[in-house]
């Protein structure tokens, strides 16, 4: 996957940004508060349909604005795609190649992105659950089919655990399916 262009309008502190990367690796440099993280957030929003800051829609809007938009143009497998996210105070609309996408898990099949932040150091220092959650998120963001498989696994696990909590022991035939 190669990002060819990233456009953001009235997104956080970005009034109008149009970035055309000239190399496969891009470094963002600048003073604090200039919008480097907001550029990364705009790209993440296009890749996943949500903010890595878990922000409400109105927090994504530039102060005094009622709408914002982020758009990424990318090439994957030799095919050009456009992902556009329109944000209002109470709604968010995601389009891929001009068509509305719901659920946004379809985006994960198009763009692979993993965000790593200082607070993610808990994957090394924290509980095993933190590591599993981080790596599940990383795999989900790089393998779109993983999301549905993970949801199915969680559902089956809840079902099995409910069966095991019953006051009478389940028979072997019931347990065999797990």
Higher-pLDDT residue of 10, 172: 10
- Look at residue 136 and tell me if it is in a domain: no
* pLDDT, tens digit, 9 for 90 and up, residues 23-46: 888 899 999 999 999 999 999 999
The whole-angstrom distance between residue 101's C-alpha and the CA centroid of its chain comes to: 14
**Domain CATH code at residue 66:** 3.40.50.300
**pLDDT averaged over every residue in the chain:** 88
- Look at residue 4 and tell me if it is in a domain: yes
53 is in which domain, residue-wise?
Answer: 1-112
pLDDT for 96 equals 95
pLDDT for 15 equals 95
pLDDT for 112 equals 79
Mean pLDDT of 120-138: 83
- Look at residue 51 and tell me if it is in a domain: yes
Q: Quick count: other Cβ atoms within 10 Å of Cβ 5? A: 13
CB 10 within 8 Å of CB 61: yes
For the cut 70, the answer to whether the pLDDT of residue 144 exceeds it is no
Domain count, the chain: 1
Short-list 99, 107, 3, CA closest to 48: 107
- Look at residue 27 and tell me if it is in a domain: yes
- Look at residue 121 and tell me if it is in a domain: no
Among 7-21, 77-91, 111-125, the range scoring the smallest mean pLDDT is 111-125
pLDDT for 42 equals 97
Q: What percent of the chain has a predicted confidence (pLDDT) above 70?
A: 98
């Amino acid at each position: 996957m190669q990002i060819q262009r990233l456009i953001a309008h009235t997104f956080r502190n970005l009034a109008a940004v149009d970035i055309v990367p000239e190399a496969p690796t891009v470094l963002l440099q600048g003073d604090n508060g200039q919008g480097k993280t907001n550029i990364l957030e705009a790209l993440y929003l296009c890749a996943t349909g949500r903010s890595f800051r878990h922000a409400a829609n109105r927090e994504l809007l530039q102060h005094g604005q009622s709408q914002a938009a982020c758009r990424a143009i990318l090439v994957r497998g030799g095919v050009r795609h456009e992902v556009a996210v329109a944000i209002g105070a109470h709604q968010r609309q995601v389009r891929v190649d001009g068509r509305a996408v719901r659920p946004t898990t379809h985006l994960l099949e198009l763009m692979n992105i993993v965000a790593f932040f200082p607070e993610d150091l808990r994957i090394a220092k924290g509980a095993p659950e933190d590591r599993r959650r981080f790596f599940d998120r990383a795999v989900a963001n790089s393998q779109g089919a993983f999301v549905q498989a993970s949801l199915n696994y969680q559902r089956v696990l809840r079902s099995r655990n409910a069966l095991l909590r019953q006051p009478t022991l389940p028979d072997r035939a019931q347990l065999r399916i797990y």
